[in-house]
Chains A and B, each alone.
Chain A
């Protein structure tokens, strides 16, 4: 299931503005990789290039290579829709579909892809909700609208929706920034369980969170406002937080900037 991601020489633009420049890294399968760095340094942009969501933004384009187990996501003839089925995504703000019930939200990916058997649907929904640690809270109200859940529950619903289509990689863009500490803990525990089966990449502003959940951490920074963001270093999380090889990383982590 889980696949390795190899990025080499990746540069992304918004129109003529260069958002990130020349990023190369490897994301190991069955592990959690965290991206940290100041706001505007291109963490989210980089994350969105990994499932071709960057080009959804008007003017968004990408140069370079992203290999998903030896297949270039930006190669010719690659269908972005198929890429997104392999590489799922969870967003900063919980965004369940407001017109759909809890059940339909989880089933949405399969139904709208047309790739499911009717008899399996209920099983898949149950398995996904259990996988997102939400089943016990919602099993009696699967037909109620998803927007009636609390923020933390909605975010877990979105995770269930993302894993229902069985992606190989799960990208998370600050999944806990809109949540309280208890919901955050629930999601972090969930990430720990999910990494047994998926490759997980998580963007976070919370350095404790990065230290808690991730195996490897990448630090991004930008030289100045308006300059493109760059990857400063990527290493084992333990090393990044105890003995980083670049001074800028240590400054950022210890709270000394500039």
Chain B
């Protein structure tokens, strides 16, 4: 054992030099300031470039300073943490800015009148009008799609997890995977081809069918995962009591996983609510209120947003309405997510005493 290779590190080998707690914030502030300086000096107009320069400086600065003060291993730890933070900010900034601009531009015309009136005879370029007809259409189309897709999806998942063995279940799993990848426009075209075959006019339910095609694989997948999480011991406990398999599934397996299954369904509803392409093909849009999804063209929120934007001809009123409708749509989807979380928490198996 030679001690010559060991450099003396002070009184304790367990205690190395540490950067103070405020160091990351100081480095962040420093790199932002430096980035602003570089941006101004270099005449860079885009704020995005400033931000990227700041992020880069922060990473390099953290690594350099940490290596100098704390040593290589700690520096690696620091830079890994910094990467996570930078990635987090890069993901959050666009999201926050999207929500901000939607809220800022959407609140201009969003009021009770806007929510309770249709476009009616208001021309696309004029101010006024509302989205009642679009909300009604979205609720009906999405509701019908859910009524079709949720039971089929849940039952398919139950088959795959509880009964499925062999080739049939493998085939179903494969086709569910394929269905997950279907672009929404293709689902729309599929229903459209059927409609043309039977010489039908656009109507809301046709949109529901296309949305159901998009929703089904998502429900199957999420429900399958939730059912797999139910411990086998519970199934065996139930079967060993002389309870038939179907009742075991109905009374033990489903109640245990109902929270997760509902969350999955809610999230898939949120996903199809924003679909535009199939609705554009099959439901067409309508400026008037049409409460009957089985006859005549209907409106829907994403379609309304698209049409207001496309037909605005540069009119500010149409832009404002499009933003307000977007805000309504985002709020609706967020509400669904919150409801899903609430149900998941409420229905979760209880562990309290």
- Give complex CA distance A98, B351 in Å: 8
List the B side residues contacting A208 at CB < 8 Å.
Answer: none
On chain B, the residues within 8 Å of A99 by CB distance are 252, 255-256, 349-350
Specify which chain A residues have a CB less than 8 angstroms from the CB of B20 in the assembled complex.
none
Q: With the chains together, A83 CA to B244 CA distance in Å?
A: 11
B165 at the interface (CB under 8 A from A): yes
**Residues 299-350 of B at the A interface (beta carbon under 8 Å):** 349-350
Which chain A residue has the least Cβ–Cβ distance from B349? A98
Contacts A91-B236, A97-B237; A109 near B349 (Cβ below 8 A)? no
Tell me whether A53 and B237 are in contact in the complex, defined as CB-CB below 8 angstroms, given that A95-B231, A97-B252 are known contacts: no
How many chain A residues touch B (Cβ–Cβ < 8 Å)?
31
Most chain A CB inside 10 Å of its own CB: which residue of B231, B242, B255: B242
A213 interface residue per 8 A CB criterion? no
Please give, as numbers and ranges, the residues of chain B lying within 8 Å of A223 by CB-CB distance.
none
Contact with B along A106-117 (1 / 0, CB 8 A): 001100110000
Q: Which residues of B contact A165 (CB under 8 A)?
A: 241-242
Contacting pair A113 B242 (CB below 8 A): yes
> Does chain A have a CB within 8 A of B68?
no
- What's the interface size class on B, roughly? 20 to 34
CB distance A145 to B236 under 8 Å?
A: no
0/1 interface trace, chain B 50-94, chain A, CB 8 Å (1 if under): 000000000000000000000000000000000000000000000
Contact of A81 among B243, B255, B353 (CB under 8 A): B243
| B242 engages A148 (CB within 8 Å) | no
> Within the complex, which residue of B165, B237, B255, B353 is in contact with A95, where a contact is CB–CB below 8 Å?
B237
Q: Is B251 an interface residue (CB 8 A)?
A: yes
C-alpha spacing A81/B236, complex, angstroms: 12
* Residues in chain A near residue B243, CB distance under 8 A: 81, 108-109, 112-113
Closest to B351 in A: A147
Report how far A81 CA is from B246 CA in the complex, Å: 11
Q: Does B352 contact A (CB under 8 A)?
A: yes
B238 beta carbon closer than 8 Å to chain A: yes
Asked whether, in the complex, the Cβ of A109 is within 8 Å of the Cβ of B242, the reply is yes
Mask: chain B, 99-119; 1 = CB below 8 Å from A; 0 = not: 000000000000000000000
Assess whether B139 is interfacial by the CB under 8 Å rule: no
Flag if A145 contacts B350 (CB, 8 Å).
yes
Q: Quick check: is B234 within 8 A (CB to CB) of the other chain?
A: yes
Asked whether A89 is an interface residue with its Cβ less than 8 Å from the other chain, the reply is yes
Nearest-neighbour CB distance to chain A for B30, whole angstroms, equals 52
Q: A112 to B256, Cβ gap below 8 A?
A: no
Judge whether B240 is part of the interface by a CB distance below 8 angstroms. Answer: yes
Interface residues of A in 79-102 (CB under 8 A from B): 81-86, 88-89, 91, 93, 95-99
Residues on B facing A (Cβ under 8 Å): 165, 231, 233-244, 247-248, 251-252, 255-256, 349-353
> B349 to nearest A CB, angstroms?
3
Q: Could you write out 7 A-B pairs with CB less than 8 Å apart?
A: A84-B239, A84-B241, A91-B236, A91-B237, A145-B352, A161-B237, A161-B241
B241 touches A95 (CB 8 A): no
In the complex, what's the smallest C-beta–C-beta distance from B101 to chain A, in angstroms? 44
Cβ-based interface call for A58 (8 A)? yes
Contacts of A145 in B (CB 8 A): 349-352
Write the nearest CB–CB distance from A135 to chain B, whole angstroms.
18
B278 smallest CB distance to A (angstroms): 38
Q: A182 at interface (Cβ–Cβ under 8 A)? A: no
**Known contacts A53-B240, A81-B243, A82-B242; A95 and B234 CB within 8 A of each other:** yes
CB distance from A6 to the nearest CB of B (A): 21
Partner pick for B233 among A88, A91, A113, CB 8 A cutoff: A91
Given contacts A84-B241, A112-B241, A113-B243, contact A97 B350 (CB under 8 A): no
CB distance from B81 to the nearest CB of A (A): 37
Residue of A nearest to B256 (CB): A99
Chain B residues lying within 8 Å of A81, measured Cβ to Cβ, are 242-244
Tell me whether B251 and A112 are in contact (CB under 8 A): yes
B residues in contact with A56, CB < 8 Å = 235-236, 239
CA distance A88 to B243 in the complex (A): 11
Kindly provide the distance from the CB of A188 to the nearest chain B CB, expressed in whole angstroms: 21
Pick from A51, A82, A86, A98: contact of B256, CB under 8 Å: A98
B351 touches A84 (CB 8 A): no
Report the nearest A residue to B257, measured CB to CB. Answer: A99
A53 to B243, CA, bound (A): 12
Are A144 and B352 within 8 A (Cβ)?
A: yes
Given the interface pairs A56-B236, A58-B165, A165-B242, the reply to whether A147 lies near B349 with Cβ below 8 Å is: yes
A232 CB to nearest B CB, Å: 27
Contact across chains for B240 and A51 when beta carbons are under 8 A apart:
yes
Q: Is the CB of A147 within 8 A of B350?
A: yes
**Complex Cα gap A166–B252 (Å):** 21
Determine how close the nearest CB of chain A comes to the CB of B257; give it in whole angstroms. Answer: 9
Chain A residues with Cβ below 8 Å from B241 are 84-85, 88, 108-109, 112-113, 161-162, 165
